[in-house]
Amino acid sequence: SSPMSVVVVLSSLLLLVIFFSGACAEEKQGEPDPLLMKHVSVERGTHIMSLKCGDKTNQGRILSCGHDAIGKSKVEGWAKAASPTRALDYHNHHFNSDRWDLLNLSGSDIVVSAISKSGTTPAPQWTQAIVSTLLLITGNWPPLDGEAALDRAQWVDLRMMPPFVLAEQMKGQERFARRVLKTHLPLDGLRFDPNVKYINVVRDPRDVAWSLYNHYKVVTPAWYGAVNSDPLVGPPVPQFDGKVNSEKQIFNDWILNDNFWAWNFWHHAHTWWSYRHLPNVLHVHFANLKKDTKGEVKRIAGFLGIEVTDDQLEHVLAKTTIESMRVDKLMFSNMADVMFEGGRESFFYKGTNTRWKDVLTQADNDALEKKAKEKVPADLWEFLKTGNYPPTGSKAEL
């Protein structure tokens, strides 16, 4: 079948789910109000759509469109609280942070966080795949029944799926001993629960920029249609332009100048790093996952309180290689075949680091060092660059 026929079929299936799920109590003549396709209620949607980015919402928080360049001192002030608080409401082409309010969080829940292209999506959704396989192999999840493992791990704040459909899916996951939830939100926009386990994945910003380029250049019209669909808060994601967009251009605009459609790299990293000392927050570096996968998987399992035998550990390692996940349809759904040209092959790409070394000059790297000093603490910058844990903290504290 043609790519277009696949898009049509999947679009039709999504519409069937939306219109016949019976999940929406606020239907009008059999169809939900358009605001309910993207917001948790008509009232909340009407309110958010009436604001501009930077306005205060009726929750007393600031409406953020995600790419805002928030200063280091503001994060430091926010981080003085003993526990993370929600200071911003994030709404844009990808985000709706209100969706977390639809969930009844449990102490058995696991939240996997990352800035875009840091290790939840590339290779693909590597950290989630590790966690999901750990849950499957140890009986915390029932065996897969036709669905893909990573489809059990919901990206809660992604605005594409109507919130009332998300709520129904979450009810369906109550049969799991443990749920895996995904977020790309900075910590100042997330509903934080001290009993939930949080894993935050980070990566060198240069690798992040290179990875985003490879993601951006292969998205399909179906992807643009989904992320830019109305009602939209803030500007849309612009069409990829090979004459303008390049790895270095994205690095310059996003990482050096805070002027890109993706959410702000530095702010995301700083908010999570500020609470690395909490016992329910674990930091994982993508480079360490590549370099010592076995050690990091054991570390993640230990943090989650999951005991694994040597045989189970080897099974997890075998199931979560890039090569394995490219062909294992029970690991990752076929949606990549609709959203990305080349499907899984392009979505997974290489999962490699330091592809920027032959492109960035010494002046570029000097500019990055200067930017990092302006935006984040020195120990965080050292961790982002190297994956080396600060001498004042142990691995367990990260």
Q: How confident is the model at residue 344 (pLDDT cuts 50, 70, 90)?
A: low
Cβ contact 167:101 at 8 Å: no
The Cα 134–Cα 155 span in angstroms is 19
The Cα 27–Cα 152 span in angstroms is 27
The Cα 78–Cα 163 span in angstroms is 29
The Cα 202–Cα 252 span in angstroms is 19
The Cα 95–Cα 160 span in angstroms is 9
- Residue 126 has what pLDDT? 84
Strand partners for 89: 63
Where does residue 124 fall: left (phi above 0), alpha (psi -120 to 50 degrees), or beta otherwise?
A: beta
Domain ranges for the chain: 32-397
Cβ contact 178:135 at 8 Å: yes
Q: How confident is the model at residue 322 (pLDDT cuts 50, 70, 90)?
A: confident
Topology (CATH level 3) of domain 32-397: Rossmann fold (3.40.50)
pLDDT at 234 over 70: yes
Beta strands in the chain (DSSP E): 27-28, 31-32, 62-64, 88-90, 110-114, 154-155, 180-183, 197-202, 281-285
Q: How confident is the model at residue 343 (pLDDT cuts 50, 70, 90)?
A: low
pLDDT at 263 over 90: no
Residue 329, token pair as written in the block: 């349809």
The mean of the pLDDT values for the chain is 85
